[in-house]
Amino acid sequence: MNGGPTARRGGALLLALLLVALAGAAVAGFALRDWLPPLASSHGAGVDRTIRYILAATGAIFILGHLTLAFCVWRFREGGAGGYRPVGPRAEWLWALGPVALMTVVSEVGVLWIGMPVWAEVYGEPPAGALEVEVVGKQFEWLVRYPGKDGVPGRTDPRMVHDARNPLGLDRGDPAARDDVVLRGELHLDAGRDTVVRLRSHDVLHSFSLPLLRVKQDVVPGLAIPTRFRPTREGSFEIACAELCGLGHYRMRGTAVVHPAGEFEAWLAAQPGWFE
């Protein structure tokens, strides 16, 4: 059903306006509020910068695309001034390859340029004096271990794991293991201090996520994966599992307590070892 020239004109105009309105609504949705949660780590500023860059770059392409589409719908409508003209293969290639080249520049050049320094901060060599802590994911909780007063993490053995008595499988026979501090669902950090969290899993894939600290790292069975960050604000922050890991995934949460600068060591010294 084509309708008369007036109906076709009205339809083209309506569609063009709808496309412009969609683009406008998308811009308003992002511009009316800041979607990123408050920031509580130093490298997180770089993560936010990367996210905002991608949003602005792809957003500009999105708007440009919609305006071009709206223009073409109106200009080349049936019976309109532009009329319908088939394009040659050269123009088709240009329109196909142009966006690919543009997206390559946006994603490969821009993201690498802004993101690589952040990557180096998260996965580079930790500075001397960094706080080292182990976090183990298991269905469905986070286990946290500090090496204790001797500063040496003790041996663990999967055969010694007992859900209530020895969740980490600490080897009682290893003197270094006796003073290891083990906590369930509670990670304690020192404000302003570089921290390296070594991540392990007891069962399946998990993902260690501290949204306000912009930390998210997959936890892979068989690997000990370090992730580095420096908390900048004291307080309590949510730890979440960001990888669907089973029926209880939704309740695999914990709390990261960031102590005021200088108070962490006193807290740690007051914690008894698991076998003490």
Long-range Cβ pairs for the range 165-172 (8 Å, 24+): 166/274, 167/138, 167/143, 168/136, 168/143, 168/274, 170/274, 170/275, 172/275
CB of 248 to Cu ion, least distance (A): 8
CB of 243 to Cu ion, least distance (A): 6
- CB nearer Cu ion, residue 178 or residue 206: 206
Q: Which stretch binds Cu ion (CB under 5 A): 10-18, 178-186, 250-258, 262-270?
A: 250-258
Give the x/- contact pattern for Cu ion in 204-223, rule: CB under 5 A.
Answer: --x-----------------
- CB nearer Cu ion, residue 154 or residue 254: 254
CB of 197 to Cu ion, least distance (A): 15
Per CB under 5 A, does 245 bind Cu ion? yes
CA distance 187 to 136: 11
Binding-site member from 73, 122, 131, 252 for Cu ion (CB under 5 A)? 252
Kindly state the tokens that stand for 5.
């020239």
Neighbours of 203 (CB within 10 A): 13
Kindly state the tokens that stand for 62.
């999105």
- CB nearer Cu ion, residue 208 or residue 264: 208
At residue 262, φ and ψ (nearest 5 deg) are: 90, -15
Per CB under 5 A, does 136 bind Cu ion? no
Binding-site member from 16, 47, 215, 241 for Cu ion (CB under 5 A)? 241
Q: Which stretch binds Cu ion (CB under 5 A): 74-82, 185-193, 241-249, 268-276?
A: 241-249
Q: Which stretch binds Cu ion (CB under 5 A): 2-10, 44-52, 96-104, 237-245?
A: 237-245
At residue 39, φ and ψ (nearest 5 deg) are: -100, 140
Kindly state the tokens that stand for 237.
């922050």
CB of 141 to Cu ion, least distance (A): 9
- CB nearer Cu ion, residue 170 or residue 245: 245
Per CB under 5 A, does 187 bind Cu ion? no
Neighbours of 109 (CB within 10 A): 10
Kindly state the tokens that stand for 65.
């695309």
Query: Is the torsion defined by CA of 52, 57, 61, 63 positive or negative?
Result: positive
CB of 220 to Cu ion, least distance (A): 12
Helices marked H in the chain? 5-31, 44-75, 89-104, 111-123, 175-178, 264-269
Kindly state the tokens that stand for 135.
């976090």
| Binding interface with Cu ion (CB under 5 A) | 206, 241, 245, 252
